[in-house]
Each structure stands twice: as structure tokens, then as C-alpha cells.
Amino acid sequence: MSKIRVLVGTKKGAFILTADGKREQWQVSEPLFAGWEMYHLKGSPLDPNRIYASQTSGWFGQVIQRSDDGGKTWATPDGSAIPGMDTPPSGRSNRFLYEGEVGTHLFYDGTQHPWEFKRIWHLEPSLTEPDTVFAGAEDAAIFKSTDGGKSWAELSGLRAAKGTLWQPGAGGMAVHTILLDPKNPQRMFIAISAAGAFRTDDGGVTWKPINRGLKSQYELPDPDAEVGHCVHRIALHPSRPDTIFMQKHWDVLRTDNAGDDWREISGNLPTDFGFPIDVHAHEPETIYVVPIKSDSEHFTPEGKLRVYRSKTGGGEWEPLTKGLPQQDCYVNVLRDAMAVDSLDDCGIYFGTTGGQVYCSPDGGDTWRLIAGNLPKVLSVEVQTLP
């Protein structure tokens, strides 16, 4: 029977949740990297034992950790000391190389490039190359490692996609979503908060904005602006990579031509503001969002925690509530805090800012709490294991 491993990044450490294919009894690990902000953990699709983790501290900076035994042990890929362990912390672990710079650094020194390097928001291992992994950074940049995370080089062509016009939103300016096209290894989609969505068709050498059809009347004076849109999350189904779904700062949208044009699919949602969006593992037209009240009130409408599902690719939505609190619940679900597994009965998972992690083993029909009282959940990823 298959097993499920849920990787949870939180404000104060990471947790690994495990269960068999029934997804009824869950084991919750002790906190990993306790006290650190763990922005994102992601397992390799090519090696079930390899997991990457983004570990961040205002004191020690950004560290990339890697496990090659399913999360039992961890190390910085370049061999630097691990902050919090017996060896004194190095502070500047891993090497992030900016195009055109002499040397490497983790912290902005005010002279060598116009953006500050703050943290890695998202890690995306390659679908085809075992030691290749991509990283989305704040301020907005994308990096690539071909040696399992030891060293990183910026894909600097992204900044040429009208980068001088990008502005940070309320949550900063970060590459927070990276989608790899399983049918075309040269194509990749990313999303940047308060800049928009972008696509490369040549492996990251050049990029183009793909925001036609997005409307941001409250943020942008130009209704046809190519960049400057606050995209919260994008998602696709591997069988149909030209169809992408988007949760934007107001509006849920879709494209069926790889981002060349978008159309709104918010339909009958109670509010079209939210952060995560995801796609059912076996049904490319079944999508999930978690609406919250507004851009100033980041909590569930009416104190009810509801996931909304559309089985028609948007437009018509139904609330999924069985097993979720329906009164006095005022939490949020962040952009990277929803994921799906690939079992026959697709499981849907999400974590809240209140520290709860929920699982639906039946595509959203029913929900159960699988971890409670964790720190604020920043990200949720799932591995389906043999």
C-alpha cells in the first residue's frame, strides 16, 4: 500500500506528517529546525528520499537544507555548519551567484545589484534531472542549482522582463510559485507578487510577461499594464500544461493558451480574494480555492472555514465544509499551504495560519484534522510514496 508524507513548513520549524494510503492514522514528527522560519519544503519527484528545505532567520540569513533519507537527517549541501547545531553557525550557508557579479553573497551590500536578497520562498526540484532544483527568491529573482543545492546561479533574464517596473506588494516582492511543464522541459511558469506571471520557453534564458486579460483597477492606473499585477498563486495539471489556473489579488482566472490570454472564472464565489489554488490530481477541470474576506481582512468570511471546489474549471463553485469549523474560525490559508496527493482517491491538504493541517481523502467531500496546534503554517507539500 502506498504511503503519504506531508511536508509542513511553519513560522517556527518544520514538521513531517506520515500515514498509509488510507490516510486515517497520522504520525507527526518532532519539530525540525525548531524556532526557524521554514518557508518551503519540497520533495524530489525523481527520488522519494530527497527533500529540500528553505530555512530562514533574521539573524543567520538564508540556508538551504537537503535530506537524502526522507527527512531523518539534514545537511547544508555545501557542507557549511548548520545553525543551531553543536558547530558554531556559519550564517552564510550555500552560494547564490548573481549574474555578472564578482564573488558570491547572501546579503545585499548596497552596491552590486539593485535588489535585496532576503529569503527563498519556493523550491522546485526538476522533473527530469536528479540534481537540478530551482529557487524563487525575495526580492524577485529565480535561481538554478545543478549540483543538488551546493551552488546557485541566477537566471538573470527574468529581470529583463520589465523588471524596472516591478513594485513590492504588501507581502513583499517574491518569486513565490514555480511551475515546470512536464511535456516541455524548456518551458517554465512563475508568479511574482505585485509583478505578475511570466513564462520562459528556452529554459530560463529569456522570459516574457503573460498577464494579458488581468485587471487590477485598484493597484494599476493602466488597465492594460503588462506587469504590476499581484498574482497570489498559479497551478496546472500535468496532462494539460497549457491550462493554468490563477488566484489573483481579487479574481480567480484561467488561461488555455499558456498565459497568452486570461479570463475570469470567479463565478459564484462568496469573495474572489484568496491565496492558494490547486488542481485535482486526476481531474484537470476540478480546482480548489480558499476565499478570505478581503485584502485588509485576511480571514475566512463569516467565521466559516470553507474550501470551494469547481468541477467545471471555474464559474460554478460549491463550498466544502464537512469536518471543517463553521463558526468562530478566523484563519487564513497562505499561497503555498495547499497541495494534493496522487492516490486513486485524490487527497487534498491545507494548513492554516492558526496552525491546523487538514486532509480530505476523498477530493474535498469530507475533511479531518491531521495536525493541530502547530505554529503558523507557511507551506504544505505532499509526497506519494510506494
What ranges do the domains of the chain cover? 3-385
The model's pLDDT over 184-208, given as tens digits with 9 standing for 90+, comes to 999 999 999 999 999 999 999 999 9
pLDDT confidence tier of residue 353, bands split at 50, 70 and 90: very high
What residue type is assigned to position 127 of the chain? L
Quick check: 103 pLDDT over 60?
A: no
At 99 the pLDDT is 54
DSSP states of 270-293 as a string?
A: S-S-EEEEEE-SS-TT-EEEEE-S
Average pLDDT estimate for 101-109: 35
Cis peptide upstream of residue 139 (ω within 30 degrees of 0): yes
At residue 159, the 3 state secondary structure works out as: helix
Quick check: 227 pLDDT over 70?
A: yes
By CB atoms closer than 10 A (0-12, 13-18, 19+), residue 90 is: middle
At 222 the pLDDT is 80
At 80 the pLDDT is 60
At 97 the pLDDT is 61
Any idea of the CA torsion for 243, 314, 213, 290, to the nearest 10 degrees?
-100
Average pLDDT estimate for 77-93: 48
- Per the CB < 8 A criterion, the answer to whether 65 and 9 are in contact is no
CA 46 to chain centre: 19
The model's pLDDT over 255-283, given as tens digits with 9 standing for 90+, comes to 999 999 999 999 999 999 999 999 999 99
Instruction: Return the closest-CA partner of residue 107 out of 123, 122, 121, 91.
Output: 91
The grid coordinates listed for 267 are 463565478
The model's pLDDT over 119-177, given as tens digits with 9 standing for 90+, comes to 999 999 999 999 999 999 998 999 999 999 998 999 999 989 998 889 888 888 999 99
pLDDT confidence tier of residue 110, bands split at 50, 70 and 90: very low
- Per the CB < 8 A criterion, the answer to whether 17 and 97 are in contact is no
Beta bridge partners of 198: 190, 209
| % of the chain beyond a pLDDT of 70 | 90
Handedness of CA 216, 221, 225, 229 (dihedral sign): negative
At 172 the pLDDT is 87
Quick check: 92 pLDDT over 60?
A: no
**Of 81-95, 268-282, 320-334, which gets the smallest average pLDDT?**
81-95
Cα 69 from Cα 266, distance rounded (Å): 42
Residue the block writes with cell 548548520: 82
The model's pLDDT over 166-176, given as tens digits with 9 standing for 90+, comes to 988 888 899 99
At 79 the pLDDT is 67
Beta bridge partners of 291: 274
Average pLDDT estimate for 229-247: 97
The grid coordinates listed for 277 are 489554488
CB burial of 133-164 (b: ≥16 within 10 Å; e: otherwise) equals bbbbbbbbbbbbbeebbbbbbbbbbbbebbbe
At 111 the pLDDT is 40
**Of 205-209, 215-219, 296-300, 324-328, which gets the smallest average pLDDT?**
215-219
Q: Which CATH architecture has domain 3-385?
A: 7 Propeller (2.130)
At 78 the pLDDT is 74
- 158: phi > 0 → left, psi -120 to 50 → alpha, else beta; which? alpha
Instruction: Return the closest-CA partner of residue 64 out of 125, 113, 140.
Output: 125
Cα 349 from Cα 241, distance rounded (Å): 22
The grid coordinates listed for 222 are 493602466
At 94 the pLDDT is 64
pLDDT confidence tier of residue 83, bands split at 50, 70 and 90: very low
- Per the CB < 8 A criterion, the answer to whether 290 and 308 are in contact is yes
pLDDT confidence tier of residue 48, bands split at 50, 70 and 90: very high
